[in-house]
Amino acid sequence: MTPREFLSVYEFDRRMVTGGHFSSEPLAVQDGDTVGVVLLNLGGPETQEDVKPFLYNLFMDPAIIDLPVGGLLRHWLAKGIAKVRSRSVREDYETIGGGSPINRLTREQSADLQALLNERYGRATGADFRTYIAMRYWHPFSEEAARQMQEDGVDKVVLLPLYPQYSKTTTGASLVYWKALEDEGEIPTWPTTVVQEYAANPKYIQALSERIDEGLQRFEKDVRPDVQLVFSAHGTPLKEMKERRDPYCCLIHSTVDQVMKHRGHDRPYHVAFQSKVGPAEWLTPSTLDKLDELAEQGRQALLVVPVAFVTDHIETSFELDIEAREEAEEAGVRHFEVTSGLNSHPLFIEALAEATVAQIERPQAPSAPLSVGDGAPAHMLQNGAAQNGSAQNGAVEDDTRGGYRLRPLDQMPRFSADQRQVRCHQCECIAEARCWTAEPAPASRRRTASEAPAS
C-alpha cells in the first residue's frame, strides 16, 4: 500500500489511542500451531539513498504527523519537506556510520527472541514461534513481513511493538496500518492478539537499570556520586495528550517511577522529551532545555537514559550522544554520557518473550501455570507491605527474588495512580502501567480496558 493509498483510507478514531484495532484477548493456540510474532518498529534508512524516501514515508503518515492538508497536496508537501531535510539528515547519518543501525539491531532482537521463545516456551505452549519484523517507514515493511508469514504457514499472530509505552504515534501508527492492509485485502487475516504495553515489566525495568549501572561506570570514580540521571523519551505533540487522551506520557513516567523504585531512588533524576518537529506545542521540558537548566544549576555530571527507545538509532546515537553532548558541554556540563540502548540485552529479550507468552492461551489449562516469571525485585511484588513499591530510608530494597505468573495483559491490574511519584507538570493521569507481579482482582470487580483509563 502506497502512502497516498493509506492516506485515502485513514480516519482517526478512538482505537488509535486505545489500541482497539486488534483484540488484546489471549490467543488460543493448539499443539503444532505456528505463531508469528510480529515485531513492530519505526525502521530507518540503511544507506544515504534511503534517507529521502524514508522521510517521505514518515511525513506522509497522518497517524504520526498531523498536517492540515490531504491527498495530492500532502504528497507534494511531504516530498518537498523530505527533499529539504534529507540534505542535513544525510550528514547526521554519515556521522554515525552512513545509515541507521536500527534494522540490524532489530534483526538481532528478532533472532534472539525466536530462539528464547522456542527454547523456553515451545513445549509448554505446543507452538512453534517464528518472529518477523514489520517496520513502519522503511524495509522490511508490514507487507513484506506478512508475505513471509504466509509462505511459512503461520496460523496465529501476536503483534508485539518494540515500543514499551503505548502511543498513538508509535504502536498506534503501526496497528492502524496493519489493519488497513487487512481491510484492503493486501495481507491475509489471521487470528491476532496485540501486546499494547509492557512499560513496567520487571525484566524491562531491570534491563534499563543495568544499562544505567553500565553508564555510571564511564564516569571517573570520584565523579560518580554526583551524577544525575536525565531520562529522555521521544516527544509527542501536547494535543495527543490533552485532546486525544494518548496514554504515552503517563506510561513514560510510570516506567521511570518503577526504575527509580528498583534503584532505591539512589540519585537525583529528571524526565525530558526530545525530537520536536514543527511549530505545535509538544510535551515538555525538552531534553536540551533540561540540560541547559541543569547546567545553570551547576550540575556537572549527567547521564542521559533513552527510556522509550529499545534500539540505538539516529535519535540516540546522534541527537543524544552528539548534539545533546555538545549542547551540555557548551552550557558547562563537564561530565556527560548516554546509556546504550537495550538492544539485545538478555533481560529485555526475556521481557519480550514474557509479553508474548502472556497473550497465549492453551485450549486446556496445563496442570501447572503456563510459565512463571522470575527475577521480580521485592518492591514489585504487590503483597502486604510491598504493595506500594517504596524503598525504606532511600536504600535499595532486599534483593530477594519472587515469582510471578504470566497471564493475559487485560487480567493484570494497573498500578495505583496515587502511588506514582513521577509526573510531569502537565499530567492528566490518563493511564497507569500494568503490574505484572500482582494477582488480578476478582472478575466481578475487574474493570475492562475501556473502563479504566486512569488506574
Share of the chain above pLDDT 90, in %: 75
Give the least confident one: 124-133, 257-266, 444-453. Answer: 444-453
Grade residue 440 by pLDDT with cuts at 50, 70 and 90: low
Q: What pLDDT is stored for residue 453 in this prediction?
A: 33
68, pLDDT greater than 80: no
**What gap in Å lies between CA 168 and CA 139, rounded to an integer?**
21
Name the residue among 107, 105, 82, 89 with its Cα closest to residue 3: 82
Per-residue b or e along 223-252, where b marks 16 or more CB atoms closer than 10 Å to that residue's CB? eeeebebbbbbbbbbbebbeebbbbbbbbb
Average pLDDT rounded to a whole number, residues 427-439: 89
Q: Look at the alpha carbons of 26, 27, 28, 31 in this order and tell me if their dihedral is positive or negative.
A: negative
CATH topology of domain 3-67+100-194: Rossmann fold (3.40.50)
According to DSSP, residue 390 is labeled P
- Residue 285 vs residues 230, 305, 317: alpha-carbon distances, Å: 11, 15, 21
Question: According to DSSP H, which parts of 332-432 are helical?
Answer: 346-357
Grid cell listed for 194 = 496485540
Q: What pLDDT is stored for residue 398 in this prediction?
A: 29
Q: What pLDDT is stored for residue 393 in this prediction?
A: 28
**What gap in Å lies between CA 324 and CA 369, rounded to an integer?**
47
* pLDDT 10s digits, 277-287: 777 889 999 99
* More confidently predicted of 388 and 40: 40
Grade residue 255 by pLDDT with cuts at 50, 70 and 90: very high
Matching residue, cell 534529507:
86
Grade residue 426 by pLDDT with cuts at 50, 70 and 90: confident
Grade residue 64 by pLDDT with cuts at 50, 70 and 90: confident
Give the least confident one: 212-221, 339-348, 361-370. Answer: 361-370
232, pLDDT greater than 80: yes
Strands annotated E in 78-137: 128-135
101, pLDDT greater than 80: yes
Grade residue 143 by pLDDT with cuts at 50, 70 and 90: very high
pTM of the model: 0.89
Per-residue b or e along 353-392, where b marks 16 or more CB atoms closer than 10 Å to that residue's CB? bbbbbbbbbbeeeeeeebbebeebbbbbbbeeebeebebe
* pLDDT 10s digits, 369-411: 554 555 455 555 444 333 333 332 222 222 334 578 888 999 9
Pairing of the two strands 269-274 and 301-306:
unpaired
**What gap in Å lies between CA 358 and CA 331, rounded to an integer?**
46
8 A C-beta contact, residue 212 and residue 303? yes
**What gap in Å lies between CA 450 and CA 427, rounded to an integer?**
20
Question: According to DSSP H, which parts of 152-286 are helical?
Answer: 171-183, 202-216, 238-242, 248-262
Task: Report the alpha-carbon angle 125-127-128, nearest 5.
Answer: 145
Average pLDDT rounded to a whole number, residues 179-204: 97
HSE, side-chain direction, 13 A CA sphere, residue 82: 21
Instruction: Write out the DSSP string of 26-58.
Output: PEE--TTPEEEEEEEE----SSGGGHHHHHHHH
Q: What pLDDT is stored for residue 71 in this prediction?
A: 82
65, pLDDT greater than 90: no
Grid cell listed for 6 = 493509506
Average pLDDT rounded to a whole number, residues 169-193: 96
425, pLDDT greater than 70: yes
Q: What pLDDT is stored for residue 280 in this prediction?
A: 80
Average pLDDT rounded to a whole number, residues 76-99: 92
- Which conformational region is residue 125 in: left (phi greater than 0), alpha (psi within -120 to 50 degrees), or beta? alpha
